[in-house]
Amino acid sequence: MKKGLYRLEEYFKYHATESEKEVLRFILHDPQKVVGMDIHTLAKQCFCSAATIVRICKKNGFSGFKELKIALGNDINFSEQLHQIRLEADPNEKLPALVAKVLNANLVAIRNIYSLLDFEELEQIVIHLLQCRYVYLFGIGASYLVAKDFQQKFERVNKRTFLYEDIHMQMVSSTNLDKGDIAIIISYSGQTKEILDVARNVKLCEGILISITKYGTNPLASMSDYTLYVPTIEKPLRIGASSSRVSQLSIVDIVYNTYLSMKKDEAMKKIVSTNKLLEKKIEEKKQD
């Protein structure tokens, strides 16, 4: 169940050609009207060919115009159901206004994750996670912290993971995969040289490459077998990862909870036994 509007908005801003922009303006201005059209009617309205519309669809992850219309319908229904939370603060009060700005950016990021999520792709990713022997995790800087959160969650349900903080060790680790092992690479930009080297190693080893990266065209997404997108909110020059990290952590939570829902009783038993063991260790420490 893909969503369409956010994908098209991002494509319009960063990647669309001039001929494609005319079509995108029409769709974004009145998606409800477009849902009721066939491809030839839309092409006539926008003074373009049907091939241009199909090209836009494929560049944004849709098989064709029919699938895009279904996605637009999902968007319209979702917008009607969802009330956007907005925190207000007096602009004269500098600290409350700053806090509201940060939290609103995070709220927008989380909301847009839903718009970008491809549920069929998510399901396939989790099926691979259920079937694989090992999960290799990769990330640098703030993305490493997200990968660490991923590792902590999956180790609790007895899914073996590998993650190294040192990028050189990550490079070595990326050459150790066997065919069918999973590599999850987290990179907001999808352009970091070292991360792309890791991705190439994974592909050479015939591992299954899953990326968590910003929406749009980037080298990491192009190399990946599966991609989970986060919104493109932060500017290229960042003072620190904020809404991007929140988005990535939300993706981790989504994958983990989907995994648990498929693993059901077995995973919950492992979590309960892990909790009991940790509680026992804490009690022993108190007694010491």
Q: Give pLDDT tens digits for 113-141.
A: 888 888 889 999 999 999 998 999 999 99
* Closest CA relative to residue 151, chosen from 168, 134, 167, 166: 134
pLDDT, residue 177, reads 94
pLDDT, residue 190, reads 93
pLDDT, residue 239, reads 44
pLDDT, residue 81, reads 47
pLDDT for 237-282, tens place per residue?
444 456 788 889 999 999 999 999 887 666 566 666 666 665 665 6
pLDDT, residue 88, reads 59
pLDDT, residue 234, reads 58
**Out of 41-55, 132-146, 222-236, which region has the weakest mean confidence (pLDDT)?**
222-236
Please say if the pLDDT value at position 222 is more than 80. Answer: yes
Please say if the pLDDT value at position 178 is more than 50. Answer: yes
Please say if the pLDDT value at position 236 is more than 60. Answer: no
Contacts for 241-244: CB closer than 8 Å, 24+ residues apart: 241/141, 241/142, 241/143, 241/188, 242/102, 242/105, 242/106, 243/105, 243/106, 243/108, 243/109, 244/109, 244/142, 244/188, 244/214
Residues in the chain: 288
Q: Which percentage of the chain shows pLDDT scores above 90? A: 52
CA-CA distances (angstroms) from residue 197 to 126, 174, 225? 25, 9, 16
103: amino acid identity, one letter: L
pLDDT, residue 84, reads 46
Average pLDDT over residues 98-105: 77
**Out of 78-92, 95-109, 121-135, which region has the weakest mean confidence (pLDDT)?**
78-92
